[in-house]
C-alpha cells in the first residue's frame, strides 16, 4: 500500500476531533456533515474486503428512515447480505482511528485477514436521494481509488437494489443480471406470470388500485422507472414522491408504524388499500381506514402471515417434503405467533432483534420467512428447495402439481432473497391478494392483534441489563425479571420484556395484554421497575 498517497488523500477528508462512531446493524448513521472521513475510509474497507473475499462488495450511502439532515453508510457482502460481524469491528476501528493511526489499523486488518494487496478489487456504489449523498459517495470513490480498486457507481438506487446487483455479480449472473434493468425485468416477469392466474373479476376493478406513500425518497423514482413494466390492471398511485416535501418528514413506513396513523400528503378514503415505504425502500407497511374512520395498520407480522398462508397451500399441493418456518423477534405480536403455530401449524422461531439474526436463522430451512414488525423482511429458499421446485415446474406430469410448482417458481423470482425489499414485497403482497381474491379488510381479519405499548426509560448505563432467551427474559440486574413476572400475572393474555438499546443509554419496554388500558398499565409498571432496579435517570416515568 502506498501510505504516502493514503496520507495525502486522507488529509483532504479529515476526521473531526473527538468523534467516535459505532458500526451497528444499520452501518454508520449520524449528521451528514460528520461523515466525510467515514465515507472515505469505508472506500478503503470495501477494497480490502473485496480483495479478502475475491468478490465484488457493495457500499450504500443512506440513512434509511432517519431525518433528511442525517446520512450513513453500510457495506454489502458478496451474497448481498450484511457485512460480516468481524468486519463491522474493523469498520468501527477505521472510522475512529486518528490520522497517525490509520496506517497501523489498515496494516493490522490486512495481516489478520491475509489480504492479498495485488488482487483486483471491485466495489459497487449506490446512494439515496438526500442532498448530502452525492458528495459523500464521491468520498467513498476517493477511498477506493487511492487503494487502486475499481468501482461501478450505480448512482440513485434503493438499498435492496444494490444488494441485488452485488449478489447477481458474484453469482456470475445466476441470480439475475447485475443491472437495474435486469432487476425490473426479473421481478415484473414473475409478477405478470403470477397475476395471469388471478381470475377474480368479481372482486372488481378497485381491488388493483394501490396508493403508495414513498416517504419523499428513492422509492418514488424507482417505482416510476418500473411502472411501464407492470400489467395495465395494476394501478399504482404515488404520493410523497420527493418533489415537494422533505425525506421521511411526517411520512414513510417508520412514521406510520410508530404513530399508528396515515402519512401526510396522502388522502385516504374508506377501505382503500394503501402502503408506505421507508426512505431507502427496504421496509413496507400496509394500512386502510374503515367506514367509521378508524385507522388499521397491517405490519410485518401480518405480511409474514399472508405470505405463509399462500406458500403453505402451494407446498402442500406440490407434495414435497420441504420444511417451512417463520422467524420472528420478541416484538412480534402474540396473536401472530399463536395463529402461525396453532392454526397454520407452521413452526415459529424467535431470535434476537436485528435483521442479521433473522436472516441467519431463516437460512436453516427449505423455506424461511422472516419479517420484523416494522415491515422489513423477505423469504429465503434453500438451494435444494430451489432445484426441486424448478424441476417440478418443468417436468411434473400432474397438472395441479406442476401449476403449483410454477407459482412457487415465480414467487422465488419475485422475492428479493438478499434482503427486505419494499418494492419486491409489495409486488408479492399484491399478487397474493389478487390470486386469493382478498380485500385488505379480509387480510386484516385473519387474526386480531393484541393491544400493545412500547416505552423507553433513560438509564445511567444500558449495560446493566443482561438478557437471555432471544431477549425475552433478563438475567441482570437481580430481581428485575421476578418483578416483571409478577406484573405480567396481573393481566390477561399478557407478556412484557425489556432490552437495552443497541446505540444509546435507554431501555426499551414492550408490553401486550387483552385490552389497551391493560397493555398501557403493564408497560408503565414495568418501566417503573426498570427505573428503580436498573439505574433510571431523571424523573420517574409518568403514566
pLDDT digits (tens, 9 = 90+) for 238-267: 999 999 999 999 999 999 998 889 999 999
- The answer to whether 185 and 177 have CB atoms below 8 angstroms apart is yes
287 and 319 share a domain? no
225 and 361 share a domain? no
Is the pLDDT reported for residue 208 higher than 80? no
Cα–Cα distance measured from residue 371 to residue 376, given in angstroms and rounded to the nearest whole number: 5
Is the pLDDT reported for residue 233 higher than 90? no
Q: What is the pLDDT at residue 298?
A: 97
- The cell for 515 is 385490552
Range of the structural domain that residue 347 is part of = 300-418
Cα–Cα distance measured from residue 333 to residue 509, given in angstroms and rounded to the nearest whole number: 14
254 is in an annotated binding site: no
Across 66-87, average pLDDT: 96
Compute φ and ψ for 188, nearest 5 degrees: -70, -35
Is the pLDDT reported for residue 378 higher than 90? yes
508 is in an annotated binding site: yes
520 is in an annotated binding site: no
Confidence band, pLDDT 50/70/90 cuts, at residue 197? confident
Q: Which of 156, 173, 200 is the last residue of a domain?
A: 156
**Collapsing DSSP states into helix, strand and coil, what is residue 130?**
coil
- The answer to whether 160 and 187 have CB atoms below 8 angstroms apart is no
Confidence band, pLDDT 50/70/90 cuts, at residue 438? very high
Q: Which of 233, 263, 298 is the last residue of a domain?
A: 298
Cα–Cα distance measured from residue 333 to residue 335, given in angstroms and rounded to the nearest whole number: 5
Cα–Cα distance measured from residue 460 to residue 288, given in angstroms and rounded to the nearest whole number: 41
397 and 312 share a domain? yes
125 and 188 share a domain? no
500 is in an annotated binding site: yes
Compute φ and ψ for 72, nearest 5 degrees: -170, 180
DSSP letter (8 states) at residue 82 = B
User: What's the Rg (C-alpha) of the chain?
Assistant: 24
In a domain, 168, yes or no: no
Tell me how far the alpha carbon of residue 520 is from its chain's centroid. 28
In a domain, 173, yes or no: no
Strand partners of residue 24? 27
Q: How many domains does the chain have?
A: 4
Nearest one of 376, 381, 195, 354 to 303, comparing CA atoms? 376
- The answer to whether 213 and 252 have CB atoms below 8 angstroms apart is yes
Is the pLDDT reported for residue 495 higher than 70? yes
199 and 76 share a domain? no
Cα–Cα distance measured from residue 314 to residue 408, given in angstroms and rounded to the nearest whole number: 7
- The answer to whether 307 and 432 have CB atoms below 8 angstroms apart is yes
151 and 25 share a domain? yes
Confidence band, pLDDT 50/70/90 cuts, at residue 203? very low
Q: What is the pLDDT at residue 199?
A: 65
24 and 80 share a domain? yes
Q: Which of 298, 326, 347 is the last residue of a domain?
A: 298
44 and 136 share a domain? yes
33 and 146 share a domain? yes
How many CA atoms lie within 13 Å of 81's alpha carbon, on the beta-carbon side? 14
374 is in an annotated binding site: yes
pLDDT above 90 covers a percentage of the chain that reads 92
In a domain, 428, yes or no: no
Find the helix or strand (DSSP H, E) in which 371 lies: strand 367-371
448 is in an annotated binding site: no
373 is in an annotated binding site: yes
Contacts of 126 (CB under 8 A, 6+ apart): 58, 59, 60, 61, 137, 154, 155, 156, 157, 159, 161, 162
The pLDDT tens digits for 2-51 are 899 999 999 999 999 889 999 988 899 999 999 999 999 999 999 999 99
In a domain, 333, yes or no: yes
Average pLDDT in the chain: 95
For every residue of 13-77, which 3-state class applies, written as one string?
A: CCCCCCCCCCCECCEEEEEHHHCHHHHHHHHHHHHHHHHHHCCEEEEEECCCCCCCCEEEEEEEC
319 and 209 share a domain? no
Catalytic residues: 64
The pLDDT tens digits for 109-149 are 999 999 999 999 999 999 999 999 999 999 999 999 999 99
Min mean pLDDT across 185-199, 210-224, 403-417, 462-476 is at 185-199
Cα–Cα distance measured from residue 412 to residue 516, given in angstroms and rounded to the nearest whole number: 39
37 and 132 share a domain? yes
In a domain, 105, yes or no: yes
Contacts of 90 (CB under 8 A, 6+ apart): 45, 48, 105, 109
Q: Degrees (nearest 5) of the Cα angle 223, 238, 262?
A: 125
Q: What is the pLDDT at residue 202?
A: 44
88 and 16 share a domain? yes
Find the helix or strand (DSSP H, E) in which 151 lies: strand 150-156
DSSP letter (8 states) at residue 163 = H
**Collapsing DSSP states into helix, strand and coil, what is residue 224?**
helix
Strand partners of residue 276? 213, 285
- The cell for 210 is 394501490
534 is in an annotated binding site: no
> What is the torsional sign of CA 176, 182, 183, 189?
negative
Amino acid at each position: 500500500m502506498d501510505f504516502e498517497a493514503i496520507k495525502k488523500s486522507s488529509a483532504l477528508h479529515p476526521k473531526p476531533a473527538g468523534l467516535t462512531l459505532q458500526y451497528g446493524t444499520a452501518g454508520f448513521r449520524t449528521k451528514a456533515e460528520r461523515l466525510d472521513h467515514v465515507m472515505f475510509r469505508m472506500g478503503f474497507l470495501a477494497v480490502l474486503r473485496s480483495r479478502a473475499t475475491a468478490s465484488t462488495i457493495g457500499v450504500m450511502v443512506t440513512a434509511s428512515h432517519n431525518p433528511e439532515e442525517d446520512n450513513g453508510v453500510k457495506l454489502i457482502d458478496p451474497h448481498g447480505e450484511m457485512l460480516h460481524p468481524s468486519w463491522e469491528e474493523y469498520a468501527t476501528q477505521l472510522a475512529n482511528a486518528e490520522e497517525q493511526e490509520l496506517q497501523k489499523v489498515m496494516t493490522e486488518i490486512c495481516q489478520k485477514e491475509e489480504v492479498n494487496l495485488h488482487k483486483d478489487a471491485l466495489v459497487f456504489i449506490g446512494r439515496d436521494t438526500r442532498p448530502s449523498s452525492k458528495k459523500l459517495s464521491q468520498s467513498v470513490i476517493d477511498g477506493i481509488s487511492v487503494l487502486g480498486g475499481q468501482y461501478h457507481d450505480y448512482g440513485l438506487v434503493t438499498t435492496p437494489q444494490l444488494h441485488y446487483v452485488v449478489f447477481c455479480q458474484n453469482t456470475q449472473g445466476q441470480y439475475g443480471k447485475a443491472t437495474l434493468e435486469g432487476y425490473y425485468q426479473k421481478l415484473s416477469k414473475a409478477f405478470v406470470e403470477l397475476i395471469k392466474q388471478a381470475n377474480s373479476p368479481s372482486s372488481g376493478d378497485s381491488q388493483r388500485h394501490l396508493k403508495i406513500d414513498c416517504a419523499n425518497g428513492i422509492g418514488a423514482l424507482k417505482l416510476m422507472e418500473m411502472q411501464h413494466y407492470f400489467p395495465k390492471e395494476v394501478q399504482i398511485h404515488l404520493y410523497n414522491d420527493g418533489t415537494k416535501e422533505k425525506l421521511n418528514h411526517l411520512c414513510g413506513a417508520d412514521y406510520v408504524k410508530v404513530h399508528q396513523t396515515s402519512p401526510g400528503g396522502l388522502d385516504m378514503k374508506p377501505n382503500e388499500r394503501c402502503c408506505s415505504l421507508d426512505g431507502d425502500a427496504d421496509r413496507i407497511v400496509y394500512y386502510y381506514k374503515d367506514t367509521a374512520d378508524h385507522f388499521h395498520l397491517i405490519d410485518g407480522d401480518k405480511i409474514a402471515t399472508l405470505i405463509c398462508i399462500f406458500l403453505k397451500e402451494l407446498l402442500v399441493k406440490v407434495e414435497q417434503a420441504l420444511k417451512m418456518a417463520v422467524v420472528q423477534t420478541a416484538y412480534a405480536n402474540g396473536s401472530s405467533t399463536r395463529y402461525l403455530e396453532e392454526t397454520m401449524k407452521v413452526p415459529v422461531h424467535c431470535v434476537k432483534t436485528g435483521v442479521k439474526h433473522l436472516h441467519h436463522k431463516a437460512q436453516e430451512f427449505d423455506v424461511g420467512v422472516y419479517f420484523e414488525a416494522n415491515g422489513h423482511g423477505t423469504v429465503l429458499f434453500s438451494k435444494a428447495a430451489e432445484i426441486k421446485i424448478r424441476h417440478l415446474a418443468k417436468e411434473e406430469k400432474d397438472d395441479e402439481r406442476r401449476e403449483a410448482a410454477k407459482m412457487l417458481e415465480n414467487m422465488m423470482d419475485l422475492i428479493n432473497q438478499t434482503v427486505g425489499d419494499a418494492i419486491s414485497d409489495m409486488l408479492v403482497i399484491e399478487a397474493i391478494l389478487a390470486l386469493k381474491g382478498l380485500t385488505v379488510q379480509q387480510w386484516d381479519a385473519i387474526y386480531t392483534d393484541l393491544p400493545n405499548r412500547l416505552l423507553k426509560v433513560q438509564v445511567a448505563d444500558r449495560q446493566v441489563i443482561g438478557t437471555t432467551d432471544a431477549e425475552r427474559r433478563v438475567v441482570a440486574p437481580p430481581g428485575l425479571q421476578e418483578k416483571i413476572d409478577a406484573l405480567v400475572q396481573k393481566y390477561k393474555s399478557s407478556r412484557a420484556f425489556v432490552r437495552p438499546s443497541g446505540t444509546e443509554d435507554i431501555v426499551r419496554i414492550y408490553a401486550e395484554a387483552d385490552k389497551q388500558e391493560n397493555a398501557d398499565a403493564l408497560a408503565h409498571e414495568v418501566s417503573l421497575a426498570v427505573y428503580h432496579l436498573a439505574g433510571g435517570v431523571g424523573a420517574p416515568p409518568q403514566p
